[in-house]
Homo-oligomer: A and B are copies of this chain.
Amino acid sequence: MDDELDGLLAQVLARTDTADPRLAEIFRSAVTHLHAFVREVRPTEQEWLRGLDFLVRTGQTCTGTRNEFILLSDMLGLTSAVDAVAHPGPPEATPSSVEGPFHSPAPRRALGATIAEGPEHGRAEPTFVHGRVTDCEGTPVPGATVDIWQADDAGFYDTQDGEQPPGNLRGLFTTDEDGRYWFSSVLPSSYPVPTDGPVGELLTALGRHPMRPAHIHYHVEAEGFRPLTTHVFVAGDEYLGSDAAFAVKDALVVAPEPREDGVLGFAFDIRLVPA
């Protein structure tokens, strides 16, 4: 049987005739691993069809605002792996982290504005967020675009929740002449990824919780620098050690502290890599 499997794989690889060497490389690697998987686990037909049905349902769960395959990639640590290979940076740069499925266009807001305009659920803690965008040597980057998105205090993004006004807990800021940005928000809380689809079924079957530790998402762009997508995580969160998306990095964890006025605050500086 191993001869038969070797022969099959050789046929599949030999049949490819593309002028695109990158496609050929990706295809060869994907097909070789998929065949190795079949050889290793020796699926029954029922198991194979169940696996394909999982993929069908994952595709059919996607909508304009929900991408279940990105979620699957996140939950398998693959998005973080791609992030690691796609965005290697010097150790002094702010590490990147996964984009996740919840980015959408944010309203442009003035520095200092609040991004929290939605209903609260009794747990919302006002929080002041500030920081500076610099290069890796600490030189300020004025005019950088800082795109922010986060879930509300009940764990939902505006796009998941009809009660939040569109653009709630999102904001597009431009750093000032010193590279600074600042805004008001509420302290993010940990939340579950959507569990009502096939990926939720998989997490349950694997005995895994669906929780992401509290975080605010950042996407930063500035001329002359590589765009950066990352998170800032809140120190002390019970899920920091078991993020369902495997996206936590030590350098991205900050501890909010009460300021003189009693409001929580934290700083998150961002060091960009030259393009």
| With A55-B58, A205-B20: A43-B5 Cβ-Cβ less than 8 Å | no
- Which of A74-82, A188-196, A262-270 touches B? A74-82
A149 adjacent to chain B (CB < 8 Å): no
CA of A16 to CA of B5, assembled, Å = 30
A8: contacting residue among B1, B67, B80, CB under 8 A: B80
A110 adjacent to chain B (CB < 8 Å): no
Total identical chains:
2
CA of A24 to CA of B59, assembled, Å = 23
| With A86-B45, A205-B20: A57-B56 Cβ-Cβ less than 8 Å | no
A246 adjacent to chain B (CB < 8 Å): yes
- Which of A29-37, A153-161, A177-185 touches B? A29-37
Q: Which residues of B contact A15 (CB under 8 A)?
A: 206, 208, 242
Q: Which residues of B contact A9 (CB under 8 A)?
A: 77, 81
Complex interface residues of chain A between 25 and 73 (CB less than 8 A to chain B) = 25-27, 29-31, 33-45, 47-49, 51-53, 55-60, 62, 67-70, 73
- Who on chain B is nearest to A52 by CB? B69
On A, residues with C-beta under 8 Å from B are: 1, 4-5, 8-9, 11-12, 15-20, 23, 25-27, 29-31, 33-45, 47-49, 51-53, 55-60, 62, 67-70, 73, 76-88, 99, 205-208, 242, 246
Q: A16-B207, A42-B86, A56-B62 are in contact. List 6 more A-B contacts (CB 8 A).
A: A1-B88, A34-B76, A39-B85, A48-B86, A55-B59, A57-B59
